[in-house]
Amino acid sequence: MVQSKHTLPFVHLRVQSSYSIGVGVSTPAEICAYASRSGFGAVALTDVGGTWGWPEFHRAARRYGVKPIYGITLGLTVGEGPGAGIIPLVFIALERTGLKNVAVLSSLAGSSEAGDPFIEVAQLEGCTEGVLCVMNPPEFESEHFGELIDTADPVAEFGARAGQLQSLFGERLFYGLAPGFDDAEVWIRSAFDRGIPAVVMQDVRYVGFKHYSLAAMERSADHTEPPEAKTAGGGPVDRYRFLS
């Protein structure tokens, strides 16, 4: 087993592998290998809508000496009909019971009539023990979760769902800060007003520039140069790359 250097003081909690079809391009093994080489003691796998990558992730994490953190990304439905929208949620298992509950949530989302990775608040009841939840702004996942929140008062809708999630997760609910979204302030303020703490989450979809062209083509984007978003300090950052 390869031992990681464990030199970096943070952990990527939002990582989507090639098991997230149309989103991630790196395999779980490549993610674990890169995390180990980069000095991470742990890394998460939070694929969209399923836990299919967990077995490969588990084996690779043991091989490369990094702690595996198991999770999933699902969309919380908001409203009904043409005005319905989605708030992306990342669920992370904190212990054995949480691991079971995250797997249950994956099954519940997969059983939806549309076959999409969506879940409703009512389905979360009884499945939150041992699970950490991170809610993100609606546009954070628009390219693979479909419509944004489109109601008369989207901020109020976002706040209402935040309140419901607080009642279910308590202190295990966080708001995910992400780079590159110019209008994210309104969602940040809505979360902060409710006392929801923030955690910075890079939306990792590939681990190295050898994967950049694949990642760009998945998004039907121009892949001549890496996409750049501006950080608060004005510097560029690739919002989809595994940073180390």
Query: Does residue 19 lie within any of the structural domains?
Result: no
| pLDDT attached to residue 234 | 42
C-alpha span between 91 and 135 (Å, rounded): 9
Query: Does residue 1 lie within any of the structural domains?
Result: no
Tokens of 68: 């595996």
C-alpha span between 107 and 124 (Å, rounded): 12
Query: Does residue 80 lie within any of the structural domains?
Result: yes
User: In this structure, what are the phi and psi dihedrals at residue 44, rounded to the nearest 5 degrees?
Assistant: -100, 160
Instruction: Give the residue from 152, 22, 155, 45 showing the smallest Cα distance to 106.
Output: 45
Q: What is the CATH number of the domain that holds 200?
A: 3.20.20.140
| pLDDT attached to residue 141 | 42
Query: Does residue 4 lie within any of the structural domains?
Result: no
User: In this structure, what are the phi and psi dihedrals at residue 71, rounded to the nearest 5 degrees?
Assistant: -155, -170
Sign of the C-alpha dihedral computed for residues 33, 38, 44 and 46 taken in this order: negative
Task: Per-residue pLDDT tens, the chain, 244 aa: give them.
Answer: 455 555 567 888 999 999 998 788 899 999 999 999 988 999 999 999 899 999 999 999 999 999 999 999 998 877 665 556 778 899 999 999 999 999 999 999 876 555 568 888 999 999 999 999 999 876 544 444 444 555 557 777 788 889 999 999 999 999 987 765 555 677 778 888 889 998 878 788 777 655 555 555 444 444 444 444 444 444 444 667 777 6
C-alpha span between 83 and 70 (Å, rounded): 33
| pLDDT attached to residue 42 | 94
CB 161, CB 135: distance < 8 Å: yes
Query: Does residue 180 lie within any of the structural domains?
Result: yes
| pLDDT attached to residue 209 | 56
| pLDDT attached to residue 204 | 82
| pLDDT attached to residue 94 | 97
> What range defines the domain where residue 193 resides?
28-237
- How many domains does the structure of the chain reveal? 1
Query: Does residue 62 lie within any of the structural domains?
Result: yes
| pLDDT attached to residue 196 | 92
Query: Does residue 124 lie within any of the structural domains?
Result: yes
3-class DSSP assignment, residue 58 = helix
Query: Does residue 17 lie within any of the structural domains?
Result: no
